[in-house]
Structure 1
Amino acid sequence: MTSGKEKLKVFQDEFMCAVCLDLLKDPVAIQCGHSYCKICITDCWDQEDQKRVYSCPQCRQTFSPRPALARNTMLAEVVEKLKKTRLSADCDAGAGDVQCDVCTGRKYKAVKSCLVCLESYCQTHFERHEEFHSHKPHKVTEATGRLQEMICQKHEKLLEVFCRTDKKCICMLCTIIEHKNHDIVPVADQRTEKQVFKINHQVNTKLEPKNLDQI
């Protein structure tokens, strides 16, 4: 039987941004119908400014000129209510849980990790983090114990682009130095392409006859 927490997880997945993989923040809907955090889609399109052709990170539909972004007020209200009902209130960190890096003494379970500060936070400390950085929001993700794997070991920057030439995730400084003139795409683009390839492979596999005797 599905628990209330599992049902909430399925429900909140419908309101996740496909770029940062977190609940939508300041959501905007683009012409194809997909929604993103305003800061996420803005960052994606900033990287496409030179081509003057802008695409949806999910369906790849293109737009030109660059579309204006308007806040989806109704969606923002739904997401805000969802945040308030999330079963992510502070609780003691158990075995296998990511601990809050700010808590002293009694450690609470982390609910978010900041990819800029390289720290994980319980609900209380995450809210303080968001308030402190409200002038310039940091990139955050669901609590993870693998923060170091998401950071470039050479430049200590977020691995936010994928080098198709060398088939590895790299940071923006890497694109200027070691990977100059390589085939570079945003990590979100590479992730979406892999998902599409996987789906197509699964569909084609199901359509293939098991053997000639069954035809």
Structure 2
Amino acid sequence: LKETCIWIPLCCICLEEFARPASLPCGHRFCLSCIGEYWRIHGACRCPLCKAFFPTRPPLNAAQTHGAGVPTEEEEAPPLKAGEVPCDLCPAKRRAVKSCLACLASYCAAHLEPHYQREDLGRHLLINVVKNLEDPACGLHGKQLQKFCRSDRTCICAMCAQTEHRGHHIVSIHREATKMKVKSGETSPPSTLKG
């Protein structure tokens, strides 16, 4: 069940409504002056949210600057490539960049921003995009994701637990999701996650 709510997009640097919003190549948006100052202070062109690094200062021209924080229905989305997952909130079905295990939804960069800005959503467990959140599979081994690596903060399969994540702090997805729900104030464990 998706809730309808009014969301005013905010710049996550100044926490104000966007003033001359600028979109980075990774899709995250900030006030033009805020991102410029952030890069000046940190001495590198890096996205404050996803930490994407840009070796040279990316151009922030009219083609990348939008009047609102979230893409409108009229804005054309590039067609999805084979295997890409669409955003569950976009009428235009933009490419999803993360999936949320608490919401059981996948989001494009613009619709993911509330998960970085709102404290309650910030506690949700974000994972790399998966097609079927009811039964996500490992992209490396094709096996069901049943474990959570706390060391790397990612969902993994049993095979990953024995190889790439050997020696890491690993728990069941169900246990981690329950912990995240308790932290966010919800008491019932998620019924769709098995592990």
Judge same fold: TM > 0.5, yes or no. Answer: no
TM bracket (short chain): 0.3 to 0.5
Compare the two structures and name the one with the higher helix fraction: 1
What TM-score does the superposition give when structure 1 sets the normalisation length?
0.31
Max radius of gyration: which structure?
A: 1
What TM-score does the superposition give when structure 2 sets the normalisation length?
0.34
